[in-house]
Amino acid sequence: MVTGEILRPRFYSETCPEAESIVRNEMKKALIREARSVASVMRLQFHDCFVNGCDGSVLLDDTPNMLGEKLSLSNINSLRSFEVVDDIKEALEKTCPSTVSCADIVIMASRDAVALTGGPDWEVKLGRKDSLTASQKDSDDIMPSPRANATFLIDLFERFDLSVRDMVALSGSHSIGKGRCFSIMFRLYNQSGSGKPDPALEPVYRKKLNQLCPLGGDENVTGDLDATPRVFDNQYFKDLVSGRGFLNSDQTLYTSRETRGYVKRFSEDEGEFFRAFEEGMVKLGDLQSGRPGEVRLNCRVVNTRHNDVLLGDS
């Protein structure tokens, strides 16, 4: 793991003591406005931290000189609710100008997304800086596809010192939220080029997905990732055991020998899943690139003085 900023709990206790409560209040508002939005915000932590560490790079808009991560293969038409992060940043800037990084906002908001929907609550380590750039290529090179199988996912997570247990537990983030038909069309109609559906799909569930996502239909239609998409619980794992995983990358965790034991355990013991998920999220939040950073004033753009440097002006 690359060393960067020294992260610690209550990092803002003196400079912005209300930071964590401001974030949670804004997340409560987002949950009331649109339940799905908090799940979308939680996904930002995965998509941010896997690409050059937890540095807020996923939040940056493209510029004439930089292709950022928002239009990468795993993010385009998929990552959403950036406006929730904008609202949190605006509230923090009013109380504590130029103090709380966007990277830390993602970490706090992800934790709150889980806690506010019935999942565990944990202490987060803070003190990250925001990146000065973002890279679509870096995101394309690292982020897994919805088609990924368990072996690929194990190898990917291992690169970040995340264990098989961490990977299965963190996949439980799909306990809340929705996925697009686009991500499952091949499972329904042409698994592994067979011209047939994924045999792991439970037949009644498959029919339901066929109705939701017909061939030639709108692939941006969304379906629930588990049977309780507004509640963070262990239903996701129960669904995998019964062949009702939405994504291939979900169901593979039960069909694969290396991961099936964890799926069964988490499906039977919600407390164990919650503990493993907490540990995984903290380890994920520790990922850093070691690159220089700043505290952005707007999460979508680097501060002007760095823009000047990036554009070659002195």
Binding residues: 48, 51, 53, 55, 57, 69, 144, 174, 226, 228, 233
Distances (CA, A) of 95 to 49, 88, 274: 27, 11, 33
Q: H or E stretch including 176?
A: none
Active-site pick, 47, 70, 165, 283: 47
Tokens of 194: 């067979």
R_g of the chain, CA atoms, integer Å: 19
What burial letters (b/e) apply to 23-36, b meaning 16+ CB within 10 Å? bbebbeebbeeebb
From the annotation, which residues make up the binding site for substrate?
Answer: 144
From the annotation, which residues make up the binding site for Ca(2+)?
Answer: 48, 51, 53, 55, 57, 69, 226, 228, 233
- Give the alpha-carbon dihedral of 254, 258, 264, 270, to 10 degrees: -110
Q: State yes or no: is 47 an active-site residue.
A: yes
Residues classed as catalytic: 47
